[in-house]
């Protein structure tokens, strides 16, 4: 069983900063990609940032230069440092893991598309 737990959300003013963290738990051998998505009320879920096991990051255009994603392969955690926050960043932020190799049923198995429960980020003007 692979589970993701997010933390670090909250309420900040425009221009403020938050740091989100996500921890993957279970008998995990490796995770190829971890990332952050967000969903505002009435909107589709969108990619914010993702990072590979090789620590190659990619970002949505709307957050480039403001957000930084980082990953600890040994701990199976991923963080998102969010600076210069704007009201349009307000959303529920979800952690996602893809390409997960884990121990189950006396063997290693692989899976994808694991999601956390989300953490609320609210940016006030």
Closest alpha carbon to 58 in 66, 44, 74, 47: 47
Q: What angle do CA 113, 105, 77 make, to 5 degrees?
A: 40
Question: Three-state SS across the chain?
Answer: CCEEEEECCEEEECCCCEEEEEEEECCEEEEEEEEEEEECCCCCCEEEEEEECCCCEEECCCCCCCEEEEEECCCCEEEEEECCCCHHHCEEEEEEEEEEEEEECCEEEEECCEECCCEEEEEEC
Q: What is the pLDDT along the chain (125 residues), one digit of tens a residue?
A: 799 999 999 999 999 999 999 999 999 999 999 999 999 999 999 999 999 988 889 999 999 999 999 999 888 999 999 999 999 999 999 999 999 999 988 999 999 999 999 999 999 99
What pLDDT, on a 0 to 100 scale, did the predictor assign at position 73?
A: 84
pLDDT digits 0-9 by tens, 10-39: 999 999 999 999 999 999 999 999 999 999
């Amino acid at each position: 069983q692979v589970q993701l737990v997010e933390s670090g959300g909250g309420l900040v003013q425009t221009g403020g900063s938050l740091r989100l963290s996500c921890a993957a738990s279970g008998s995990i051998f490796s995770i190829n990609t971890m990332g952050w998505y967000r969903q505002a009320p009435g909107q589709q879920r969108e990619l914010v940032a993702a990072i590979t096991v090789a620590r190659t990051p990619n970002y949505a255009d709307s957050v480039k230069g403001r957000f930084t994603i980082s990953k600890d392969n040994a701990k199976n955690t991923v963080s998102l440092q969010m600076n210069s926050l704007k009201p349009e960043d307000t959303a529920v932020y979800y952690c996602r893991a893809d390409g997960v190799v884990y121990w189950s049923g006396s063997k290693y198995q692989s899976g994808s598309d694991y999601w956390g429960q989300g953490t609320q980020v609210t940016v006030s003007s």
